[in-house]
Structure formats: C-alpha cells, structure tokens
Amino acid sequence: MKSTSFKCTCIISQHSPGHVLACTSCSRICSLIQFHLFQIDSHLKFPNTNEINQNLKHTIPFYLTAEQSFSWLIQSTLSKCHVTSLLLFFSKLQTSLRPISITSTMSFKTAAKRGQFDLDRYVGNLRVKTYKEFAKHSRLPTIPAPIPTLRKDERLIGEAPIVAGDLAYIVSGKHKGKISRVLLYTRDNDTVLLNEVTKNVVIPKQYWAANQTSHVLEYPVPIPRKFVRLAAKEKDEKGNVSYVVAEDLVFKEKYYDDRLKRWVPRRFVKHHENIEIPWPSPMSEPKDDQYSTLTEDVYNKTHELQTVAKSPFPKSVLNELRNPYSKFKKRELTEGQARRLNAPQMPLSVEQKIYLAKKAQTPVKKLEPLSEEAKDLIGSRMAEHLAKIKNPLLLKHLEAVSQKTTPEFQRVLNEIEGKQD
C-alpha cells in the first residue's frame, strides 16, 4: 500500500493544472483543472468508509478523465471491498494519467492514443495472459485474478439488462439456484458482483479497514453475466413471496425515472410481456458537496435573448472579447518579425571575392550596331539571292518573315542606345 500510494503521488505531482492528460482506459482527454496532493500518511490509517469517502471527495476532483473510475470508486466504497478497490483505484490512477505531446500534423485524438498500451490490440489467449499480467500489479496476491475485459466490439451496447440493486438468479456453478442482490455490473468484462457470492480473502493487517477485526474478508467474486438471470420478487395478497426469473428481456418505451434522474426504457420478460420488471432504486443517494451546483442555481435564469437587433453583449465588453491589441492584429511588424522575414545575406567566401574582383576588372562586352561594311555585305548577298527566286509564293513568304518583330531585337537596340547615351 505504501509503495503504491507513494508511486501514485509521484505521478500526480508530475502534472500541474493546465496539463493535457489522456486516460489510457477510456482514451478521454481533458486538462487538469485542479490539483490536490494526497496526504499519504493520513490515508494509510483508513479510519472508516465515510471518512475515506469524505477525503476522496476533496482530493479526487483534480481531474475529469478518470470520471469512470471515480464513479466506480464511489460505488465500490459502499460495498464490502472498499480496501481493495481503493488499491485498484490507486493503481488505475497510476497507469491512467500521462501527459501527451502533440505535433502540428497530428490530430488530438491520434496523439492521445499514440504509444500507449492498448489491450484491444491483443487477441485470444494472448489477450487474457497480458490482461492477467497487468492485473497482477493492481491487486493483492490473495485476491483471485479478475476476468479479462472484453474487446470493444464484443462489449454490450445500449441499456444494461442488469444493474446494481437488481436481484440475480444464478443458473450454473457452485451457487446454482441462489438469488442474490447485484452489487455492481461491469460492462468492460460483462460481469456482476453478487452480495452472496463471496470468497474469503486474507488481508494483511496494514491494509485493514478501521472496522475490520479479522484477517479474513469476504470478497465478492465476479461472475460472468451469462451465468445469471435477472430475477424479480413478487408478493401476493397473502404475503407469499415468489420470484420471477427472466431468461431474456425486452426493452420498451422510455420514461423519465425520477429516482435515477434519467430516461430509461421499461423492461419486460421476453414472451411474457405483461410482466414488467422495474428498475431498482439507486443503492446510494448522491450527496451535495463543495463542487455540486445548487438546485436554485440551475433554475435561476440569468440571461435571455430578447431581440437579434440588439447585441447581447454590452459595448464595453466587446474590446475585452476581441482584444484589439492582439499581436496578430498589428499592422506594423516588429523588428524581430522583420528580421525573420528577411533572410540575412550570406557572407562571401574567399574564392567568390576573388572571382568578383576579377570580373569587375574585365571590361564589359559592348554591343555595336552593324557596320556599314557588314550591312553592305549582307544586303548584296540578299539582293543576289532574292533576284534568283522566281516563285511569287516564296517571295511572299520571305516578305512575311522579314516583317516579323522580336522583343530581343528591341532589347539589343535599347542596349546599344543605352550604352551610347
């Protein structure tokens, strides 16, 4: 316990508020909003369930990622196994939080999944082995190995047919025929923890709970859901108790359940659809704490849009929202920005300097217009040749060719003139 919690605090203290964290179990990403360090010593004593609960409530909300594990912890602290679940929780915390670095080309989701251990990449027996290997670190050696989690595509989708608080009828195994209350249904490995299916587990004294008096603790054993059926208690007028066991269920229209505070479908026994099995009440009522929003605050309407013609924001707020002094809105470049935009000139090497000096010494070749002699030579040759041509079409063609202008000729003439000027 000591080592576990010590490691745990180390990992937590690596991160500070504002860090982006990803949960390895659910891949959810969030930023650390608040940060409380665990008081290890005080926790080592584990005074009683309520106190742990109270302490954790003050310490846990430092992150949102492990929302899942948080709710699980709250549930499990109410059950018998709070000590071990706390252990599990610590180890989960240890592995589930890690900082992620994101490159510009990568999506946030990809970055969060990169390089992390993913059990879904393992199949078959290897998956079971790997899971058990990992699970070793998160439990006491006396506690039996947990059932491996299902692959994502094998997991149950939609409403869970059995929830905490339900009655379950065991159809197979040593406890066949028993009807027991469900403590917890885990979707990850599709198992239930039952109130009456427990195993005696030896707990070292250092991990004892405050009210624990024996080394032996009753520990609920996870049972795959296929070995249990949903059961319901029935009482007739005479007060005789009978049970209904549903082989399968049918979900029908949804209604708002005020106890659960959400919309849930009504469930009926398949092929006997006149028998409804109501959802159980939650095993514990949610309690208000320093982070919960008060009911009156929820119903208090603070803003209402009256007209689109009028801005919902007062004018004085706009500048605060838009920040006209943003560095991205400045028209002028700072010296540093200008320096970054203009690349510095590379210094010349010795060879380059020698070459340039030599080049400066050699006179630039000047273009001269054609001399009279050359003009005469060309003209006489042309006249002689043209006189021999009898074909009028060829003459016409030559006329057209000589009419053609080129930009290069104009450039050369300009150069000659420019030089002369």
Partner 1 sequence: MSLTAKEAFAKLPQKLHTFFIKHPPRPLAQYATTPSTISDPQKNPFLPNKNEESGKWHAAKYSLRRSADLYKMALKYGLAELLPPIPHKKFHEERYNDKKWMRGLLFQKKRKWERELPTKLEQRRVAMENMDETILKARPAYKKQIARREEKKRTWF
Give the footprint of partner 1 on this chain (CB under 8 A).
Answer: 367-371, 373-388, 398-399, 401-402, 404-406, 408-409, 412, 416
Order across the sheet with 97-99: list the strands.
29-31, 20-23, 97-99
Cα 302 to chain centroid distance, Å, stands at 32
Least Cβ distance, residue 118 to partner 1 (angstroms): 59
Residue 18 zone, left/alpha/beta (φ > 0; ψ -120 to 50; rest): left
Would you call 169 helix, strand, or coil by DSSP? strand
Least Cβ distance, residue 330 to partner 1 (angstroms): 50
Looking at the Cβ atoms of 40 and 412, the one nearer to partner 1 is 412
Least Cβ distance, residue 345 to partner 1 (angstroms): 24
Looking at the Cβ atoms of 17 and 369, the one nearer to partner 1 is 369
Contact 210, 48 (CB under 8 A): yes
Least Cβ distance, residue 402 to partner 1 (angstroms): 4
Least Cβ distance, residue 397 to partner 1 (angstroms): 8
Order across the sheet with 241-246: list the strands.
216-224, 191-202, 179-186, 167-170, 228-235, 241-246
Q: Token pair for residue 207?
A: 């991990």
Looking at the Cβ atoms of 106 and 394, the one nearer to partner 1 is 394
Q: Is 230 exposed, middle or buried (0-12, 13-18, 19+ CB in 10 A)?
A: buried
Least Cβ distance, residue 403 to partner 1 (angstroms): 8
Least Cβ distance, residue 347 to partner 1 (angstroms): 22
Contact 55, 38 (CB under 8 A): no
Looking at the Cβ atoms of 333 and 377, the one nearer to partner 1 is 377
Looking at the Cβ atoms of 105 and 405, the one nearer to partner 1 is 405
Looking at the Cβ atoms of 289 and 376, the one nearer to partner 1 is 376
Looking at the Cβ atoms of 106 and 389, the one nearer to partner 1 is 389
Looking at the Cβ atoms of 99 and 369, the one nearer to partner 1 is 369
CA distance 222 to 144: 10
According to DSSP H, which parts of 79-116 are helical? 82-96, 108-113
- The terminus-to-terminus CA distance of the chain in angstroms comes to 97
Which residues are registered as beta bridge partners of 265? 254
Least Cβ distance, residue 346 to partner 1 (angstroms): 21
Contact 83, 4 (CB under 8 A): no
Residue for token digits 């899942």? 68
